[in-house]
Every structure is written in C-alpha cells, then in structure tokens.
Amino acid sequence: AFDYTYYNTYTAVVGSFTGWIGIVLFQSTMSGWPFRRLFWVTTLMQVVASGFDLLIINRFNIAWGIPDRWFYMFGDAVIGPAIMMFAFMPAIVLTSKLVPKGLESTTYALLAGFQNFGGQVSSQIGIYATQASGISTTVPCNFDNLSTLVVVSHCLLPLLAIPLTFVLIPDKLMTEKIINDDVHDEPTIFGSVMRGEKKGEKKPDAKAS
C-alpha cells in the first residue's frame, strides 16, 4: 500500500505528463477518425485499464513480486490520464461542432452544462453503489465486493453504452462539418426586405402605384 502523499504528488505528476502525451498521440493518430470509432476505441481502452485496478484489488501484483507503488505508478497512474484525454478530446470537438452559428455561447454553455451535470449524477450514483455494496474504508474496512463493483461500473456499464452510439453520435469524421451554417436566408419574417436592401434594391413607392 501507499500513503496519500504518494497518491497526490508523485502519481499526479506522472498523470499530468502522460495526459500531455495522450493529447499528442490523439492529435497525431486519431484526429481524423470518425466520432463513433473514437468512442468505441476509448471505451474499450477504459475497460482494459480497469484491469489494473482488478489486479491490485485481488493482490495479483504482490503474487508476482511487484509492489503496489510501482504497479499503480506504471499502471493506472500512467494509462488512466492518457485514456481520459483520448475520451475528452472528441467529446469537446463534437460539442463545438454541434453549436450553430450565431448561438455559440448559449449552445456551448448548455451542452457543457449537461456534460457536467451527467458527471455529477454519475459520481453520486457511484457513491450510492459503493455504500450499497457494503464497501467501507473506515475500521473495520470491508472490500469484499470491490472487485464486483469495479467489473460492473468500469467494464459492463461502459460497454452497454456502445450500442447507443448508433443513435446519439453522428457517423461523421472529426474533420467534417456536422451542422450546415451556410444559410442564405435571414432568420426573420422581414428577410426578403432585408435582402433587397442589402442588394441595393429600392423599396417600391406606394404613391407610384
């Protein structure tokens, strides 16, 4: 085991570095992929990364002679931030591409608010699931159902979200335009009059008729 100082300092530094590497790798290898494929790959990578947690929980690393400090440092602390960036970047790009022209601030703030709300709701559900599983970090500690909880929340539930990509995520490349902003009509009932004024057309004189 390791203390909170090790968890909050050394692993945080390594995580920040690997997160930066994740951004570079994403830009060089995945920036032209379709949104759906990116979601599939990052989801599968998150499931695989959860295997390191299961190995530590079941103490396989100790059986292999690898201390918790080193196994966590070169496992979840390294892979986790990089995969988080792989999943974060396409989500931000997709959010920006769903913003219609002229409503950038309002729509982006609304979509980002829903994303943050979803994150908070998932955190609260995770807390409830931890309590319902009987897991306790206070004396007497109880981690009997921790492996099952990790399998369900980190493996099964993310995989169940993959079929939803065929409904919720557009089948477009990250470099493609999703919303067509090339609209020539003015968004007003006086559009024809405004277009006429812009072209230099004169309004018909009522007295001439």
Measure the CA angle with vertex 34, ends 177 and 92; round to 5°. Answer: 70
Q: How many angstroms from the chain centroid is the CA of residue 33?
A: 16
182-205 mean pLDDT? 45
Dist. CA 147–CA 165, nearest whole Å? 27
Nearest in space to 93 (alpha carbons), one of 173, 182, 183:
173
Dist. CA 164–CA 185, nearest whole Å? 35
- Residue 150, SS3? helix
Give the confidence band of 195 by pLDDT, cuts at 50, 70, 90: very low
Compute the Cα dihedral for 53, 164, 25, 94 and give only its sign.
negative
H/E run at residue 110: helix 104-132
pLDDT per position as a tens digit, 29-57: 888 888 899 889 888 888 888 888 888 88
- If one counts every other C-beta atom within 10 angstroms of the C-beta of residue 26, the result is 20
Give the confidence band of 194 by pLDDT, cuts at 50, 70, 90: very low
16-21 mean pLDDT? 84
Dist. CA 194–CA 206, nearest whole Å? 18
Q: Is the pLDDT of residue 200 over 60?
A: no
Q: Is the pLDDT of residue 4 over 70?
A: yes
Quick one: pLDDT at residue 141? 83
Quick one: pLDDT at residue 1? 60
pLDDT per position as a tens digit, 148-170: 988 888 888 889 888 988 988 88
Dist. CA 109–CA 119, nearest whole Å? 15
Quick one: pLDDT at residue 93? 84
Quick one: pLDDT at residue 121? 92
Dist. CA 112–CA 117, nearest whole Å? 8
Q: Is the pLDDT of residue 199 over 50?
A: no
Q: Is the pLDDT of residue 207 over 60?
A: no
Quick one: pLDDT at residue 204? 52
Q: Is the pLDDT of residue 2 over 50?
A: yes
The fraction of the chain above a pLDDT of 90, given in percent, is 4
Q: How many helices (H) and strands (E) does the chain have?
A: 11, 0
Quick one: pLDDT at residue 196? 46
